[in-house]
Amino acid sequence: MSSSVAENWFSADGLPNFSAINASDIVTVITAAIRDCKTVIDNVVEKQDASYASVFLEIDEVDTQLSNLWSPVSHMNSVVSDDEWREAHDACLPLLSEYGTWVGQHEGLFKLYQALSESDEFANLDMAQQKMITNTLRDFTLSGIALDAEKKEEYGKIQARLSELSSTFSNHLLDATMAFQKHITDEKQLAGLPDSAKSAAAQLATQHNLAGWLFTLDIPSYLPIMSYADNRELREEMYRAYVTRASEIGPNGGEFDNTAIIEETLSLRTKIANLLGFEHYSQRSIATKMAESTDQVKTFLHDLARQSRPQAEADLAEVKAFAAEQYGRTELQAWDVGYYSEKLKQDKYAISDEELRPYFPETHVVPGLFEVVSRLFGLTIKERMDVDTYHQDVRFFDITDSDGNYCGSFYLDLYARAKKRGGAWMDECRVKRRRTDGSLQHPVAYLTCNFSGPIDGQPACFTHDEVVTLFHEFGHGLHHMLTKIEVSAVSGINGVAWDAVELPSQFLENWCWQPEALQFISGHVDTGESLPKALLDKMLAAKNFQSAMQMLRQIEFSLFDFTLHMQTDNVDVQAFLNDVRNAISVLTPPEFNRFQNSFGHIFAGGYAAGYYSYKWAEVLSADAFAAFEENGIFDISTGRRFLEKILQMGGSKEPMALFVDFKGREPSVDALLRHSGIVT
């Protein structure tokens, strides 16, 4: 980059200089970077050199500069945003959308890629290079390269608007979540709440110069109330606020309503699909997925639902009977189910998430995670203190392989805080690629969660669910950082079919349940004692508590998303969701529930007509883990095979081929049902 401002954004080793990035410079820097990209592409096309070095490498060099600049801007907008930053970020979205469309519809560049694919050189390229070219030609088609000029323009306008709508949806959801607070001064109202939840609420109140306790709709604050608070009115108030966020009946009087955004998004996605010759958006989605047809996806989901439903009905009947017999509660509302389910779980298994929490302090969980991947894949992970981060809670780590070779690095951002988007995710800071000068750009990841932070000078203590979430995101991170592929478009998670990208993340979750691994993942916050066998046995016994209900819930979300995106006419989204629930669910939420208005995965993320990917990939991950169950959960040769056949291969081969390379056969759903405790 010629701009000195842009150069200041990076340290000597190429990592973001977060403290040097000013919101006021963002639009200027990104605009200049896009201009440079266009200049290089035009120069490449003008040369008419249909070689890999010219067509891909020259453009990849300047495109990487753009993505390396945009990465910290986009990430900070999600984790430490303010009004000025958001405004600058959102101002860049139409510029980036326009650039993406410009590239995807560039006739000259398309013809060069076609010529390269038909050249003698193509046969001599390696597998990753060939896969990149094949994917790129497919993506040209999906960007409307074959459309006439008028339709190309329409496509570009729609894509720009969709980008804007996605950001607005996300902003509304964050704002609606932050706008609600519940301040309590009477401790009697908090009966049943565990001390950890009360301490966190007291600490939050103090930070706001308030007496008593302060609760928000962030998950670490919200969930304990729904699971433990004896105060039914409090549970109802929090539930109503949570499930009506960003809707016309939300606690802010509809100020952050996402309803119209959802309707316009669906309409525009249908138009995009139709422009490209697809019947509907789900068909467009499948064009880049592992699944072969929309019918295959629907059949997969309905089969899982059919096999799960009898047990889910039994799960629900059990908690209803328990609430009636033990507590005289004969009708369960939505804000009662989690509470009485927790009571039932404690009654059946004599265990609760809060009883386990002291055994999962950050000081054991994070090193324990590192020990798991060390035993599996021979990795060494060390913290580095000399790196500029964007928040005082963020840590930075380097990974080396079993031969001492540097693989990549990651930022670890674990705690919930104001101005931070909810949920957990892995994102790319930099991708692995071979530069034109022959040097390597190593991969760097952002690993982001929203857990309860340290309280009263004690280390942060996590629920076991949070431990599972951390392992999940770290699985994504390993996929990104351990890749051996040096072609940016198919290295790490790039070029991986969306319905296969969850394989490494869900795979790594399994070690959170293994007694051998829990010996070093756990350690009491005060004594350091590992999880006692009695507690471990109870935890494992309770592993599949209400698992069939959870399975149906995920299938409900998946079918809602996938079949909604199959509609070609305007649809009443709430009525449509209700119909899906009536067909699939055993537990129907109240009429006022507006789940769809906060369904960021499909309206502000990459999962549109693809939420089924979680279940699809869970079949792969369960079947992959079965190899470790057979050979030993820390079997070195099995771990190396998974590393070499899956993690290191990125998107260089089709996911089914990679799975067969690892497992020796195509996947079976049996392991998933067995792991979930669902008997069919």
- Which pLDDT score is estimated for 325? 98
Give CA 239 to chain center in angstroms: 24
Helix 655-663 / helix 613-631 crossing angle, nearest 10 deg: 20
User: Quick one: residue 526, left, alpha or beta (phi over 0 = left, psi -120 to 50 = alpha)?
Assistant: alpha
Tokens matching residue 406: 């540097």
What is the CB neighbour count within 10 angstroms for residue 274?
A: 14
The pTM is what? 0.96
Query: For residues 413 and 418, what is the distance between their CA atoms, to the nearest angstrom?
Result: 13
| Cα distances (angstroms) measured from residue 176 to each of 46, 181, 232, 252, 495 | 50, 10, 23, 7, 34
| Alpha helix stretches (DSSP H) within 229-349 | 232-243, 259-275, 281-286, 294-327, 334-349
Residues annotated as catalytic are 473
**φ and ψ at 408, to 5 degrees?**
175, -175
CATH number of 358-494: 3.40.390.10
Superfamily of domain 4-104+106-142: Endopeptidase. Chain P; domain 1 (1.20.1050.40)
**The tokens of 74 are what?**
């986009």
Q: How many CB atoms lie within 10 A of CB 468?
A: 17
Q: Indicate the Cα dihedral angle 263, 449, 498, 93, nearest 10°.
A: 50
CA dihedral angle for residue 416, residue 420, residue 422, residue 425, rounded to 10 degrees: -90
- Residue 630 burial by CB count (10 A; 0-12/13-18/19+): exposed, middle or buried? exposed
The low-confidence residues of the chain, meaning pLDDT below 50, are: 1-2
Distance between CA atoms of 37 and 45, rounded to whole angstroms?
A: 12
The pairing of strands 444-451 and 406-415 is parallel
Q: Where in the chain is the domain with CATH 3.40.390.10?
A: 358-494
Q: What is the pLDDT, as a whole number, of residue 1?
A: 41
Residue pair 490/650 in contact (Cβ under 8 Å)? The answer is yes
> Is 620:509 a contact under the CB 8 Å cutoff?
no
pLDDT digits (tens, 9 = 90+) for 421-460: 999 999 999 999 999 999 999 999 999 999 999 998 899 9
* Domain ranges in the chain with CATH number 1.20.1050.40: 4-104+106-142
Which pair of tokens denotes residue 572? Answer: 């009443």
